[in-house]
């Protein structure tokens, strides 16, 4: 639980919003409402954006910071998250009103955008979780997750994070238990993540997905068991992403990079989400760092990362006073 410290000034909350990868992604069917039924395994990693929430004395939502090409304003998902929570609080009569619901949101983007890593969803989740504390709304985790589903299918997972099997449209979550019976857990994995300079449209990938011609589906249950056992061979022996061949068909250069990556790594490589990010699991942190170092001149961003047990990290559980 977050400890709130009141020092007489405006309050500032600094959070880490963690990226995710898909250890497995299957699409089962297209629903009449246009959404797709999925069965996938989501895993938080220690690559994260910094999200700063500063309470301000006017009823206003301000957005700024190093946004790395993301929109700044009402079309931004974090702005939508703040507006959604403020509206929900007004309707439900939660917390204080008026100027107490003013906030200045500053983003320091580290997660590549539109990369299959859930960066926008992670930032929105951090805003919801942080403002719930900053505005003293006392919404439960289940309430936050239900509210966050209005912003996107990945946002509920990003609030809790860790490792989860997601079904339905991606919002029906079963979490891998953590140590001591805690909800959040994660298999201890060392990954090398590569995000090439290729623009992929998620909507176009799903539009081009023809499930009638999809003869192969990954064994999600086996990968889930591999996560429970922290068994790398079981995970990589059965993982898969049904969107991968669709994206590769749309962007053949991505498939060539995947093959080059796999040849260099000597381990299986998989695409995260609808792409373009690719990743592999290495046996230890040294191997991951060495592989990442060999890829520094590749056309994109390379990261040596680890799995992480939560989605939104409050960084010491402390709310500090702003100088302004």
The active-site residue out of 26, 49, 154, 313 is: 154
Question: How does DSSP assign 121-139, residue by residue?
Answer: HHHHHHHHHHHHHHTT---
- Tokens 């959040």: give the residue: 184
Q: How far apart are CA 289 and CA 204, in angstroms?
A: 34
Q: How far apart are CA 76 and CA 214, in angstroms?
A: 34
E-strand ranges in the chain read 3-4, 11-30, 36-56, 61-66, 102-108, 163-167, 172-175, 190-196, 269-271, 278-282, 300-306, 312-313, 318-321
User: Cα-flanking dihedrals φ and ψ of residue 116, to 5°?
Assistant: 80, 20
Q: How distant, in Å, are the alpha carbons of 90, 274, 288, 320 from that of 36?
A: 33, 13, 34, 42
Quick one: DSSP state of residue 101?
G
The active-site residue out of 20, 80, 109, 258 is: 20
- Tokens 């061949």: give the residue: 245
In the residue annotation, 154 being an active-site residue is answered as yes
Among 79, 176, 91, 186, which residue's Cα sits nearest to residue 139?
Answer: 91
In the residue annotation, 313 being an active-site residue is answered as no
Contacts of 116 (CB under 8 A, 6+ apart): 21, 22, 200, 271, 272, 273, 274, 275, 276, 277
The residues annotated as belonging to the active site are: 20, 154
């Amino acid at each position: 639980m977050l400890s709130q410290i009141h020092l007489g000034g405006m309050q500032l909350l600094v959070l880490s919003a963690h990226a995710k990868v898909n250890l497995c992604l299957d699409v089962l069917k297209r629903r009449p409402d246009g959404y797709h039924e999925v069965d996938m395994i989501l895993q938080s990693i220690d690559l994260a954006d910094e999200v700063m929430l500063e309470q301000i004395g006017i009823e206003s939502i301000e957005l700024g910071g190093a946004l790395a090409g993301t929109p700044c304003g009402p079309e931004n998902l974090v702005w939508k998250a703040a507006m959604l929570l403020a509206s929900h609080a007004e309707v439900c009569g939660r917390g204080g009103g008026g100027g107490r619901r003013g906030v200045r949101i500053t983003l320091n983007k580290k997660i590549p955008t539109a990369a299959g890593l859930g960066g926008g969803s992670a930032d929105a989740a951090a805003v919801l979780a942080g403002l719930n504390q900053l505005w003293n709304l006392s919404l439960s985790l289940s309430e936050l997750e239900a509210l966050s589903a209005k912003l996107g299918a990945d946002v509920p997972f990003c609030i809790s994070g860790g490792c989860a099997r997601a079904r339905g449209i991606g919002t029906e979550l079963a979490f891998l238990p953590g140590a001591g019976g805690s909800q959040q857990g994660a298999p201890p994995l060392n990954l090398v993540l590569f995000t090439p300079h290729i623009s992929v449209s998620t909507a176009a990938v799903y539009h081009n997905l023809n499930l009638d011609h999809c003869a192969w589906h990954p064994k999600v249950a086996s990968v889930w068991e591999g996560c429970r056992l922290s068994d790398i061979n079981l995970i990589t022996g059965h993982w898969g992403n049904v969107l991968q061949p669709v994206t590769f068909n749309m962007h053949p250069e991505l498939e060539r990079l995947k093959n080059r990556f796999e040849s260099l790594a000597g381990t299986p490589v998989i695409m995260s989400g609808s792409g373009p990010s690719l990743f592999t699991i290495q046996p230890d942190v040294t191997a991951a760092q060495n592989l990442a170092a060999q890829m520094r001149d590749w056309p994109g961003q390379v990261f040596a990362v680890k799995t992480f047990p939560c989605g939104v990290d409050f960084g010491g559980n402390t709310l500090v006073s702003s100088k302004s």
